[in-house]
Amino acid sequence: MNDGHRAGGYVGVMRVVVIGGTGHIGTYLVPSLVKAGHETVVISRGSRRPYRDDPAWREVETVTCDRDAAEQDGEFGATVAKLKPDAVVDLTCFTTAQAEQLVDALDGQHLVHTGSIWSYGPSTVVPTTEDAPKRPYGYYGVNKLAIERYLMSQDRVRASVVHPGHISGPGWMPIGPAGNLDPAVIESLRRDGSCTLPDRGGETVHHVHAEDVAALHQACLEQPDAAAGESFNSVCTQALTLRGYAELVAHHFGHEPKLEFVPWAEFQARTDAEQVEITLDHIGRAPMFSMEKARAVLGFEPRHGVTDTVLEAIDAWVAAQDN
């Protein structure tokens, strides 16, 4: 990993097991661990290829395992433990029961868990810091908070939690200017700069590049004394308003923005029901988070700005559609 992501505290070569290492975060994390000299093992179902090719994958030990099936048999934690890791990165843990089964099989290792900014609930004071009161709603956020509380209360392993925002990068559609995943929003802005937004477009969405999420996981691994027992936000240093985001994309494609602001009820009536729910899920939380703790504790600063993060993802998505 580029030294710009961290400041000191390197612990030497480790044997790291990455659970779910071929997804958004693992695509960047696994090659970076290999290049840093760490012996790296990936556990995955074997059904997905990384989003980016990298020669470093040839040096990765891969273990094919269906986590759900192994957990039902009570064998998943033992499968990880038999690999004799010094540290474990769990990118696919969504319930406390999953975390408990893994932790019960380990013995003193450093466990870095992927949480979520959804564990906070709606933003109140912004930018939101890691010590803010947490009032999540919805299955995902409630469970991510429960996992964090469990990990921070047990003493069998050393635990760190990384809370990503809207993970973005080449290969998948980012949360768009309307706060959802509707490709028609990007297509309209690309075509003529037009976009319909709810209310005045002042709500925020907070993206993060997948490479920076991976880098923060690695910073935790390589500075265990500083990271153990701590949670860290993982977002770009700035958030986007829906209006600012739409204007950014329109200008990117060479158009003057043609934005229409409508009351929520009208936006709801004119938008696909599934996308409406996604929008409400995002703007109802108005996410905007601080990266100060990661900088102060780990010397970590994101490499990617929010503008570059969303435009890189959108350009890659557009190129894939055109091909």
- C-beta atoms surrounding 268 within 10 Å: 16
Contact 149, 95 (CB under 8 A): no
**Tokens for 138?**
């919805």
- What Å distances lie between residue 162 and 43, 75, 144, 243, 268, CA to CA? 19, 26, 11, 28, 33
Tell me which residue has tokens 């932790």.
Answer: 103
Crossing angle between the packed helical segments 183-192 and 306-322, to the nearest 10 degrees: 90
**Tokens for 309?**
């993060």
Parse the chain into domains and list their residue ranges. Answer: 11-168+208-236+288-304
pLDDT tens digits in sequence order for the chain, 323 residues long: 333 333 334 568 999 999 999 999 999 999 999 999 999 999 999 878 899 999 999 999 999 999 999 999 999 999 999 999 999 999 999 999 999 999 999 999 999 999 999 999 999 999 999 999 999 999 999 999 999 999 999 999 999 999 999 999 999 999 999 999 999 999 999 999 999 999 999 999 999 999 999 999 999 999 999 999 999 999 999 999 999 999 999 999 999 999 999 999 999 999 999 999 999 999 999 999 999 999 999 999 999 999 999 999 999 999 999 88
Query: Is 322 exposed, middle or buried (CB count within 10 Å of its CB: 0-12, 13-18, 19+)?
Result: exposed
Where does residue 17 fall: left (phi above 0), alpha (psi -120 to 50 degrees), or beta otherwise? beta
Query: Is 193 exposed, middle or buried (CB count within 10 Å of its CB: 0-12, 13-18, 19+)?
Result: buried
Instruction: Indicate whether this model's pTM tops 0.75.
Output: yes
CATH number of 11-168+208-236+288-304: 3.40.50.720
Half-sphere exposure of 228 (CA within 13 A, CB side): 16
- Using DSSP, state whether 150 is helix, strand or coil: helix
